[in-house]
Structure formats: structure tokens, C-alpha cells
Amino acid sequence: MKNTDKSEKLVTLAARLACAREKAGLSPEQMAEQLGTTIEEYTQWETGTAQPDTETVRRAAVVLHVTGNYLLFGAAREGMVGAMFPNKAQQAVLPGWYGCMMAGAALLFCGGAGMLLMLFTSRTAKAEGALWSYLPFQVFLTICAVGAVLCVTALILRARNRKKQGKRQDHGR
């Protein structure tokens, strides 16, 4: 095992939360204040006697500059998310536009593959002028159109997200 970092071996949310808090240089009291909870409740999360809800884990990840995936599952499960979103605050929760883009891309691929397969195998589709009125072709074309709409929607959401992040950074200066 190349990485000897202690945090790689932590197996519980409680242990990862405590370790990340210590690395961030925060006391349990400061962390509880940042999360808007009592010190008693926060201490229960770090000792493992209680579990924070998902929204609290997301907020803790942002405060601690780690990913939500790290807090919940450990470093081994960060994988692709960490490669695609190097900003730890973005990784806290996978952006909505990302799922939209993946769904759109999958639909575009499936619809396009279906149309190509149909064009090469269907005699009905090859008939002169029958392609546009052929129901399976229309179905695959509709699937592609929905996929394209999802991809464009994802790009719009991503642009809005970046614009909001830019405004937040400008206000922080």
C-alpha cells in the first residue's frame, strides 16, 4: 500500500469526521457552531453514537474542505468524482447538471445506436421515402432529441452554477 496516510484507513463516518476536523484545525465547538448544531449532538456524531443527516454531511464536507463521498465512504470511493471536480466544495454533493448530462449522453448514444442498427438491418427502413414514416425510426429519433435536450439543459445548469460561484467569490473579496 503506497499511501500511508492515516485517513485512508479510517472505516467509519465518525472517525473520518474527527480526522478531517483535526486536519482543518477546528475544535469540536467550532465545528458544531459552523454546522448550526449543539456541541452535544456534534460529539455524538464523532463518537459514532448518532449519525448526521445527509444535508449536515454535505455542509460538514464544505466546512472541512473534503468531499461528501470521503466522509460517507472513505477515500477509496472518491474516484471519478474527485478527478472530474477538483474543487472540494463542488465534490461535497455531485452537481445536478452532471446527472442530467450523463442521462442525456446515454439517451443520445442509445437512440443513435438504435437508428444505425435499424438502418443497416431493416428492409422497411431502406424503402424509398419510408424512413421518416417508419415508427421505430421515429422512436429512436425522439430518444435522441430528448437526450440532446437533457445535454443542453445540463450545460445551462452548469453555466448558472458557475455564474453563482463567481458572484459568491466576488462578494467574499
Asked if pLDDT for residue 80 goes beyond 70, the answer is no
- The CATH number of the structural domain formed by 6-91 is 1.10.260.40
Q: What is the pLDDT of residue 160?
A: 81
- What whole-number percentage of the chain has pLDDT above 90? 25
Confidence of residue 115 (pLDDT cuts 50, 70, 90): confident
Residue 4 has pLDDT above 90, yes or no: no
- Which percentage of the chain shows pLDDT scores above 70? 70
pLDDT tens-place string over residues 6-55: 444 557 889 999 999 999 999 999 999 999 999 999 999 999 888 888 88
The DSSP-derived string for the chain is: -----GGGG--SHHHHHHHHHHHHT--HHHHHHHHTS-HHHHHHHHHTSS---HHHHHHHHHHHTS-HHHHHH-GGGTHHHHHH--SHHHHTS--HHHHHHHHHHHHHHHHHHHHHHHHHH-HHHHSTTTTTT-HHHHHHHHHHHHHHHHHHHHHHHHHHHHHHHHHHHHHH-
In this prediction, residue 126 carries a pLDDT of: 61
What per-residue confidence (pLDDT) applies to 85?
54
Residue 58 has a pLDDT of: 86
What integer is the mean pLDDT of 106-128? 78
- Compute the average pLDDT of residues 85-101: 62
What does the pLDDT look like over 133-163, one tens digit per residue?
777 778 888 999 999 999 998 888 888 877 7
Q: Can you give the pLDDT at residue 81?
A: 52
Domain map of the chain by residue range?
Answer: 6-91, 96-172
